[in-house]
Amino acid sequence: WAKADGKARWTLFDPERNAHRMTRQSLSSTLRQAVERGEFVLEYQPLVALSGGTLRGVEALVRWEHPQFGRLAPNRFIGLAEENGSIVQLGHWVLAESCRRARAWQKDHPDEPLFVSVNVAVRQVWDSDLVTDVAEILDETGLPPELLQLELTESAVMGSAGQPLQTLHALSEMGVRIAIDDFGTGYSNLAYLSRLPVAALKLDGSFVRGFRSQEHPNPADETIVVALVDLAHRLGLTVTAECVENAEQAERLRRIGCDTGQGWFYSRPVAAERISAMLGGH
């Protein structure tokens, strides 16, 4: 029909947008089965000590090996999974798989303790019994709780009262570390966060991107990071910088005293086998 109607109509009806909407619907309606069919895989991205360069931990990042569309990045489906609730099943699989892997690394390399950091959606805190799930998974896999970190966004913990707050405390008492992901993009303040059982901040990538460069001669972001890292440390929190893409950024962060860095400068997210090879001393 496109040919018959000519180019003007083609643009007017925007088939690309229509196709996009249909893809979204199709992805949304097949998410649950996809979890059962085992169509998801995890990649792991190193978190490296800025001073010394030791591999400290890895963040687990989910990808969907879609039978029709190929490998899909999380921004294509995590939002849909949160909307339709399938994030609870998906999130459970991610947690279990991450802990199995981390336990295998711990067994193979007992002298190089590596923690795994797992993203947890707001809905997992609300809609599932996260505390029981985590306890069961740690028990089944044998992973020590100190080797598990959970990444929550500011919106998941801000103003948290009642159930979510109890959940955070229970996880923390279990020995699991709570980190705030993409810190600095929301409205939370550190004074409030310091009263929650939070152990780490992950500074959003936009701060590092705003460091001094030809485009940004006045590095306001660098000044903010200096203050944030100082305050976080005084409050007993460790700080990871996201999106470290070059040596200069890594060096500035190291001088500022930021604890760990994560980004393409160190490694892209990679398959589990690549992490095993890195642990083997490479």
Integer Cα distance of 86 and 90 in angstroms: 6
- Among 57, 164, 261, 263, interactor with ligand C2E by CB under 6 A: 263
Question: C-beta of 155: minimal distance to ligand C2E in Å?
Answer: 12
Tell whether residue 151 is a contact of Mg ion (CB under 5 A).
Answer: yes
- Residue 45 touching Mg ion (CB under 5 A): no
Alpha-carbon gap, residue 105 to 90, rounded angstroms: 23
Binding mask 40-59 for ligand C2E (x = CB under 6 A): -----x--------------
Q: Is 269 in the site for ligand C2E (CB under 6 A)?
A: yes
Residue 245 interacts with ligand C2E (CB under 6 A): yes or no: yes
First to last CA, the chain: 57
Which span (31-39, 154-162, 193-201, 241-249) binds ligand C2E, by CB under 6 A?
241-249
Of the listed pieces 46-54, 147-155, 255-263, 272-280, which binds Mg ion according to CB under 5 A? 147-155
Output 136 or 182, the one with its CB closest to ligand C2E: 182
Give the shortest CB-182-to-ligand C2E separation in angstroms.
5
- Give the separation between CA 4 and CA 180, rounded to whole angstroms: 54
- Encoded one letter per residue, x for contact with Mg ion by CB under 5 A and - for no contact, window 163-202 reads ------------------xx--------------------
Q: What is the DSSP string of 113-178?
A: --EEEEE--HHHHHHS-HHHHHHHHHHHH---GGGEEEEEEHHHHTT--HHHHHHHHHHHHHT-EE
119 and 151 Cβ atoms separated by less than 8 Å: yes
Q: Which amino acid, 167?
A: T
Q: Which CB sits closer to ligand C2E, 109 or 185?
A: 185
Token reading at 203: 């500074």
Distance CA 7, CA 44 (A): 45
Residues that bind ligand C2E (CB under 6 A): 45, 61-62, 73-75, 78, 91, 94, 119, 121, 151, 181-182, 205, 242-245, 262-264, 269
